[in-house]
Amino acid sequence: MQILDLLLCLILVPLIAALFLLVVRRDSWRALIVQLSAVAIGIVSLVLLILGFDKGTLLYSVASEPVSQVMFFIEMILAVFILYLGIKHRKSLTIILILLQAGLLIWFEMSLAGHLHVENNLFVDQFSIIMALIIGIIGTLICVYAVGYMETYHNRHKELRDRRGIFFGLLFIFLAAMFGLVFSNNLLWVFFFWEITTICSFLLIGYEETEEATNNSFLALSMNLLGGVAFMAAIIYLAISDPAGNLLDLNYLLTTGKAIALVPAVLICFAGITKAALMPFSSWLVGAMVAPTPVSALLHSSTMVKAGVYIIVRFAPVLSGTTEGLIIALVGGTTFALASFMAISQNNAKKVLAYSTIANLGLIVACAGVGTYNLMWVAILLIIFHAVAKSLLFLCVGTVENRIGSRDIEDMGGLIVRMPRIAIMMFIGMAGMFLAPFGMVISKWAAIEAFVTAPFGLIFIALLAFGSSATVFFWSKWMGKIISVMREQTVVEDTVKKEKYSVLYILTGLVVVVCLIFPLMSSVLIEPFVMNIYGKTALLSQANIIIMIMMLCLLMIMPFSMLFYRKGAQPVMLPYMGGTPMEGPMHFTGSMGISREIVLSNYYFEKSFGEKRLSLFGTSLCGGLLLIAGILLLGVIV
């Protein structure tokens, strides 16, 4: 089987599945199509890995003219559609931006496109394979989970229109667009798929059709369109610089040397920043949490926002050593620190996950912006580990929300008694985000070791040190909340569907496995990729890898020690409440003899780490930084 066939398969199979899902009415057929396509896509992704991992960069030409025409046609239809919706909901910013983008696109088609010819439209290399695995395995798992989730969701929210056909259709169109994005070599094609993901995100955020959802969806759309305009500007710049179209070949652009590539690189990285919701554009991602959980898991943590950082990491070799690259890295670094601080003050579980996602994306961009060879290695590691752990957490939170009816962390107290298996999986997911020896700590460790030799690395190390302390705080207090053993509460877990469990088990297993096999991943995929670009590659020393694995084994063995502590072998007593008389579980006799409930609440420190203050600070700081980058860029052009 040719690798090109695999690529086309991965782009087209989800598309076909989407078309079926848009029309099918029966829930059971829908579930079947989702599961079959998920398995198919997953298998094809794995086959791609097996066949393609040692082949280096492969370029393919596909008939570009008819495809480009179709793309332009679709883009125009979508522009009209957005214009219509913008007018209907009276969103002037959206209208302006879509008119601007469409205008640029039309002008481009009219004047420049005719002469352009890009020979190789598709390509695949190790980084694309990694992204494809994330989309193909984690993405499809989330879609399978979504089937069960949406059924419960609509049972709970009977007032919402049941548009599940559109929902699942959009999910699979999105998957197709993501595959297209990571396999495209032609920047015009990248832009097309980029815009498709923007539209999917817009429509999915607004799924609930409430006023809040609609407003947030337009916020996301506007910010992403702004990025799209920058992307379009980059394409026009490149087309003007080389009318034959050679510079629109991504692979060629990246290897051709810095001078000509810097301006479009910065513009496209700006688009990446808006898509990855770094400051000052983070409000759209936080607002997007109103969408159903599978949307948050798929688009807004594992995949779409990864497209933003994917493109920035691709351009890292161009940015490395430049002032603009440093500025982009600073935007990422300050986002990491500030978003981590803001997560401390949030008690809405999905908002905590959103801020954590924004923070980690900021860290990836900080690594990519400085762009040395070992930082590139770290950035890719971060992408993998974060996608796995964060999707698990989102899905668990979704399950918990469906069962207990609340997203508030304060309502998740004692979850280990009410939903033991989910609580343990959440525990592993959270551990995966901040505890040694799991992936994120490996990445942060490698990041510190890499920044220490990079120019201006001290600033980033300081941001990393303070930001990662903040992450320890908010993850630990959430962890503590769910493992608190509050007795005699009803176990609600038995009502959770089996399919959801299988997805969650697989993801939990992945969190552990990905950590165990990371030396293998590194040597097979990441190091050759970095070597290819920089001529040298990074690796953690042998001894440290062994120690990491030792720690992981110790951690896994610990729960088995529980077997030595048999139930009933030890006296069990009440927690110390100062001797106060207890009246049944979780109640005590307060003063005046009144029975009071025991309520334990975490610290949120609204005054110090509140959203308003920090977000204002972050927006101004990062906005200012981007302005400086823009001015520098003008200097280069003029």
Give the binding site for another protein (CB under 8 A).
Answer: 414, 416-417, 420, 435-437, 441, 445, 448-449, 452, 458, 461-462, 464-466, 468-470, 472-473, 476-477, 479-481, 483-487, 541, 543-544, 547-548, 551, 554-555, 558-559, 561-562, 565, 567-582, 586, 589, 598, 600, 602-603, 608
b (16+ CB within 10 A) / e for 177-188 = bbbbbbbbbbbb
Q: Is the peptide bond before 559 cis (omega within 30 degrees of 0)?
A: no
Quote the least distance from Cβ 472 to another protein, whole Å.
6
Q: Which is nearer to another protein, 219 or 514 (CB)?
A: 514
Give the three-class secondary structure for 226: helix
Give the shortest CB-575-to-another protein separation in angstroms: 3
Asked if residue 421 lies in contact with residue 171, where contact means CB atoms within 8 angstroms, the answer is no
- Amino acid 485 reads V
CB–CB of 249/119 below 8 Å?
yes
| Minimum CB–partner distance for residue 553 and another protein (Å) | 11
CB of 416 to another protein, least distance (A): 7
Tell the smallest beta-carbon distance from residue 555 to another protein (Å): 8
Q: Which of 80, 184, 175 is nearest to 125 (CA)?
A: 184
Cα 130 from Cα 120, distance rounded (Å): 21
Rounded to the nearest angstrom, the gap between the alpha carbon of residue 165 and the centroid of all alpha carbons in its chain is 24
Q: Between 2 and 490, whose beta carbon lies closer to another protein?
A: 490
Nearer to another protein, 96 or 483 (CB): 483
State which residue, 200 or 461, has the beta carbon closest to another protein: 461
Of 51 and 539, CB closest to another protein? 539
Token reading at 189? 């094609």
In the bound state with another protein, the residue whose beta carbon lies nearer, of 565 and 631, is: 565
Rounded to a whole number of angstroms, the minimum distance from the CB of residue 522 to another protein is 17
In whole angstroms, the minimum distance from the beta carbon of 89 to another protein comes to: 43
Between 146 and 482, name the residue whose CB sits nearer to another protein. Answer: 482
| 588: helix, strand or coil | strand
For another protein, which is the closer residue by CB, 110 or 573?
573
Q: Which residue type is seen at 10?
A: L
Closest approach of another protein to the CB of residue 565, in Å: 5
CB of 313: closest distance to another protein in angstroms?
Answer: 23
CA separation for the pair 181, 196 (Å, rounded): 10
Question: Can you give 35-102 as a three-state secondary structure string?
Answer: HHHHHHHHHHHHHHHHHHCCCCCEEECCCHHHHHHHHHHHHHHHHHHHHHHHHHCCCHHHHHHHHHHH
Distance CA 152, CA 401 (A): 10
555: nearest Cα among 475, 473, 441, 472:
441
- Residue 199 tokens, joined: 């539209």
Q: Name the residue nearer to another protein (CB basis): 292 or 413.
A: 413
